[in-house]
């Protein structure tokens, strides 16, 4: 007798392209045993070649193109999709995922999970009235909430009014075998001649958009160069990623006279290898949920300098890096200056960061958390 198929979890996200939420979803699907659950993905908008990172070719990915067809037609398409696939669980994420909850219930889906993974571009501090109202209106559809940080859990409880008993907090996990330190650091992925031996490389990885505030990083790097020119002559800055702010950042680098010491790498396929070329990782975001790039940098054995916002304070402490106030380029410059001058501090924080990533933020721990939620609902 043929055993029954595992239950299907249908994940609803805004789009499947390069990003932290999307990376976490792919890691979850690739790592969870196929005997436990099957998976499919519905994209409110579209997907890119990032879908090729899914290890199982049977995972169906559907693009709904809401901005092209309109929200009500998209909801009808979702209703038909739910009726066709008959998922045991629909797992929506962030604000745009709310659009799938009414069609899911109408199609007979019995269990809905909703995840909060970060802050909306138009509401980076979670103070907006309309996003809060939408979340409250959809709350009756949700069986279980998942947040990737305690900060987002507090937001749901205090701002949206969700009972704590309905929320499970699960940190993102990082592949500590793929993101691993090299000793000594390799400079091979950097442009030829850009970072000779003895160079101090400051790196950042992420979508190049206003909320990531790379402009503060550029100004801090320029201030470091101005305050200690002899020492800073050894420093280089690498920004990996693409996005709407890239042209403005290139112009700013030229204005600050640091363009020769800065490499805008664009999107890169081999992020682990690039991280191994850095000496310090910086995330200057105005707000964050839980940053996958911080976890990847920690696993690589890098000290992390990050803004004291959102979930960053749950990842970085004074044993693994330094925190600074968002937008404070002077404070960021001081932190970089300390690491530039003190190789022992750099090494100690990097070792501690790697240890914390392995102990607290592994992929198996993340997958076990999600599987526990799915198992309880599927029963």
Per-residue pLDDT tens digits for 244-262? 999 999 999 999 999 999 9
Using CB atoms within 10 Å of the CB of residue 102, give its burial: 0 to 12 exposed, 13 to 18 middle, 19+ buried.
Answer: middle
Report the top-level CATH class of 200-360.
alpha beta
Beta bridge partners of 185: none
pLDDT at 150 over 70: yes
Given 3.40.50.2000, 3.40.50.720, 3.40.50.300, 3.10.28.10, which CATH number is that of 8-172+362-378?
3.40.50.2000
For the cut 90, the answer to whether the pLDDT of residue 188 exceeds it is: no
Asked if 113 and 90 touch (Cβ cutoff 8 Å), the reply is yes
Strand partners, 267: none
* Angstrom distance (rounded) from CA 125 to CA 309: 9
- pLDDT, residue 258, reads 95
pLDDT in tens, 77-132: 999 999 999 999 999 999 999 999 999 999 999 999 999 998 877 788 888 999 99
C-alpha pair distances (Å), 147 with each of 118, 172, 221, 311? 9, 10, 34, 11
Indicate the DSSP class of residue 289. S
Percent pLDDT > 90 in the chain is: 87
The predicted structure's pLDDT at residue 65:
97
Tokens of 192: 């030829």
H or E stretch covering 84: helix 71-85
Give the pLDDT confidence score for residue 123 in this predicted structure: 82
Which residues does 22 contact at the CB level (< 8 Å), separation at least 6?
A: 13, 15, 16, 50
Say if 8-172+362-378 and 200-360 have the same CATH topology: yes
Mean pLDDT within 356-361: 95
Mean pLDDT across the chain: 94
Q: Does pLDDT of 44 surpass 90?
A: yes
- Give the up-direction half-sphere exposure of residue 27: CA atoms within 13 A in the CB hemisphere: 25
Average the pLDDT over each of 15-24, 65-74, 116-125 and give the range with the smallest value: 116-125
Give the helix/strand (H/E) hosting 97: helix 94-97
Collapsing DSSP to helix, strand or coil, 42 comes out as strand
Burial (CB < 10 A; 0-12, 13-18, 19+), residue 90, is buried
Rounded CA gap, 234 and 340, in Å?
A: 9
- Pairwise CA distance, residues 307 & 284, whole Å: 5
CA geometry: angle at 115 spanning 14 and 99, to 5°? 45
Provide mean pLDDT across the span 320-337: 97
With cut-offs at 50, 70 and 90, classify the pLDDT of residue 1.
Answer: low
What does the radius of gyration of the chain's CA atoms come to, in whole angstroms? Answer: 22
- Above 80 in pLDDT, residue 3? no
pLDDT band for position 177 (cuts 50, 70, 90)? very high
Domain segments of the chain as ranges: 8-172+362-378, 200-360
- Count the helix, strand and coil residues of the chain and give each as a percent rounded to the nearest 5: 45, 20, 35
- Residue 61, helix vs strand vs coil: strand
Cα four-point dihedral sign 152, 280, 211, 24: negative
pLDDT at 119: 83
Residues near 234 by Cβ (< 8 Å), separated by ≥ 6?
A: 198, 199, 200, 340
Written as six digits, the tokens of 59 are: 């995972």
What is the predicted pLDDT for the residue at 19?
82
């Amino acid at each position: 007798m043929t055993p029954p198929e595992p239950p299907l979890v249908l994940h609803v996200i805004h789009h499947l392209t390069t990003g932290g939420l999307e990376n976490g979803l792919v890691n979850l699907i690739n790592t969870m045993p196929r005997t436990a659950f099957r998976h499919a993905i519905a994209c409110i908008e579209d997907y890119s070649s990032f879908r090729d990172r899914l290890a199982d070719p049977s995972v169906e990915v559907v693009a709904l193109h809401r901005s092209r067809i309109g929200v009500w037609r998209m909801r009808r398409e979702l209703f038909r999709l739910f009726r066709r696939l008959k998922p045991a669980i629909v797992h929506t994420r962030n604000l745009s995922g709310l659009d799938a909850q009414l069609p899911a219930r109408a199609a007979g889906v019995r269990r809905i999970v909703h995840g909060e993974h970060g802050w909306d571009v138009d509401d980076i501090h979670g103070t907006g009235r309309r996003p809060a109202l939408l979340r409250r209106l959809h709350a009756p559809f949700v069986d279980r909430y998942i947040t990737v940080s305690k900060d987002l859990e507090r937001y749901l409880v205090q701002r949206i009014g969700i009972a704590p008993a309905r929320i499970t907090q699960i940190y993102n996990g990082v592949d500590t075998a793929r993101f691993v330190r090299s000793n000594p650091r390799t400079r091979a992925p950097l442009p030829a001649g850009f970072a000779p031996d003895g160079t101090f490389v400051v790196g950042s990885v992420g979508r190049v958009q206003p909320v990531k505030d790379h402009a503060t990083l550029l100004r801090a790097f320029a201030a470091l160069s101005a305050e200690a020119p002899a020492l800073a002559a050894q420093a280089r800055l690498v920004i990996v990623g693409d996005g709407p702010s890239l042209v403005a950042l290139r112009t700013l680098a030229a204005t600050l006279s640091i363009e020769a010491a800065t490499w805008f790498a664009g999107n890169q396929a081999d992020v682990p290898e690039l991280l191994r070329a850095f000496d310090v990782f910086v995330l200057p975001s105005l707000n964050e949920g839980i940053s996958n790039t911080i976890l990847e940098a920690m696993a690589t054995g890098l000290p992390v300098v990050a803004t004291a916002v959102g979930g960053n304070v749950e990842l970085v402490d004074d044993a693994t890096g330094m925190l600074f106030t968002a937008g404070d380029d002077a404070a960021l410059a001081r932190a970089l200056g300390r690491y530039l001058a003190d190789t022992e501090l750099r090494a100690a924080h990097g070792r501690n960061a790697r240890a914390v990533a392995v102990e607290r933020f592994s992929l198996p721990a993340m997958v076990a958390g999600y599987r526990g939620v799915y198992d309880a609902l599927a029963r």
